[in-house]
Amino acid sequence: MVAHLVRLKLRLLVNTLRRSVWQTIGLCFALLYGLFVVGLLVTVAIAGGRNDPVLTGQLLTVVGAVVVLGWWVVPLFAFGVDATLDPMRFVTFAIPRRRLLAGLAVASVVSVPAAVTLLAALGTSFAWASDPLALLAALVGAVAALALCVVGSRATTTALAPLLDSRRYREILMVVAIVPLLLVGPGIAWLTSGAERSAGPEGVTVTASGPEPAVFDALAQVADVVAWTPFGAPWAFAGAVHDGAWGLLLARLAVVVVTLGVAWWVWDRALARALVSPPHSGAGGKVRGLGWFGRFPATPTGAVAARCATYWLRDPRYAVSLAVIPLLPVALAAFGLSSGAGVGMLLVVAPLVAFILGFGISNDVGYDHTAFALHVATGVPGGADRWGRVLPVLVVGVPLVAAMAVAAAGAAARWDVLPALLGLSLGVLGASLGTSSAVSARLVYPVPKPGESAFKTPQGATVATLVAQSVAFLVVLALVLPTLVLALVALLGGATGFGWAALAVGTATAAGALAAGTRWGARVYERRLPDLLAQVTAFR
| Per CB under 8 A, 380 contacts another protein | yes
Distance CA 470, CA 188 (A): 28
The overall longest dimension of the chain from CA atoms, in Å, is: 79
Distance CA 174, CA 501 (A): 42
| Per CB under 8 A, 303 contacts another protein | yes
Distance CA 37, CA 385 (A): 44
Q: How many residues bind another protein (CB under 8 A)?
A: 46
| Comparison of 213 and 285: residue with beta carbon closer to another protein | 285
Residues 165-184 that bind another protein (CB under 8 A): 167
Q: Which stretch binds another protein (CB under 8 A): 87-95, 379-387, 402-410, 484-492?
A: 379-387
| Comparison of 299 and 496: residue with beta carbon closer to another protein | 299
Alpha-carbon distance values, 366 to 49, 371, 449, 535 (Å): 49, 10, 8, 9
| Per CB under 8 A, 531 contacts another protein | yes
| Comparison of 172 and 257: residue with beta carbon closer to another protein | 172
Distance CA 233, CA 215 (A): 22
Neighbours of 328 (CB within 10 A): 18
| Comparison of 62 and 320: residue with beta carbon closer to another protein | 320
| Per CB under 8 A, 370 contacts another protein | yes
| Per CB under 8 A, 492 contacts another protein | no
| Per CB under 8 A, 523 contacts another protein | no
| Per CB under 8 A, 375 contacts another protein | yes
Q: Which stretch binds another protein (CB under 8 A): 321-329, 368-376, 409-417, 438-446?
A: 368-376
Note the Cα 68 to chain centre separation in Å: 18
Task: Return the SS3 of 475.
Answer: helix
| Comparison of 197 and 540: residue with beta carbon closer to another protein | 540
Alpha-carbon Rg for the chain in angstroms? 27
| Comparison of 202 and 531: residue with beta carbon closer to another protein | 531
Distance CA 430, CA 424 (A): 10
Q: How far is the CB of 305 from another protein (least distance, A)?
A: 10
- Dihedral sign, Cα of residue 515, residue 517, residue 518, residue 522: positive
Q: How far is the CB of 33 from another protein (least distance, A)?
A: 30
| Per CB under 8 A, 304 contacts another protein | yes
Q: How far is the CB of 364 from another protein (least distance, A)?
A: 12
Neighbours of 434 (CB within 10 A): 29
Residue at 432: amino acid letter: S
Residues 384-443 that bind another protein (CB under 8 A): none
| Per CB under 8 A, 496 contacts another protein | no
| Comparison of 136 and 373: residue with beta carbon closer to another protein | 373
Q: How far is the CB of 315 from another protein (least distance, A)?
A: 5
- Dihedral sign, Cα of residue 186, residue 191, residue 197, residue 201: positive
Distance CA 21, CA 50 (A): 43
Q: How far is the CB of 451 from another protein (least distance, A)?
A: 7
Alpha-carbon distance values, 135 to 53, 139, 240, 255, 503 (Å): 11, 6, 11, 20, 64
Q: How far is the CB of 442 from another protein (least distance, A)?
A: 16
| Comparison of 20 and 469: residue with beta carbon closer to another protein | 20
Nearest to 30 by CA among 113, 141, 107: 113
Q: How far is the CB of 508 from another protein (least distance, A)?
A: 33
Distance CA 118, CA 112 (A): 10
| Per CB under 8 A, 322 contacts another protein | no
| Comparison of 244 and 451: residue with beta carbon closer to another protein | 451
Nearest to 111 by CA among 153, 156, 159, 69: 153
| Per CB under 8 A, 24 contacts another protein | no
| Comparison of 130 and 378: residue with beta carbon closer to another protein | 378
Distance CA 16, CA 30 (A): 15
- If you count them, how many residues does the chain have? 540
Residues 271-300 that bind another protein (CB under 8 A): 281, 283-291, 293, 298-300
| Per CB under 8 A, 94 contacts another protein | no
| Per CB under 8 A, 252 contacts another protein | no
Residues 438-467 that bind another protein (CB under 8 A): 449-451
Q: How far is the CB of 314 from another protein (least distance, A)?
A: 5
**Per-residue DSSP letters for 422-453?**
HHHHHHHHHHHHHHHHHHHHH-----PPTTS-
Q: Which residues bind another protein (CB under 8 A)?
A: 167, 281, 283-291, 293, 298-300, 302-304, 306-307, 310-311, 314-315, 368-371, 373-381, 449-451, 529-531, 533-534, 537
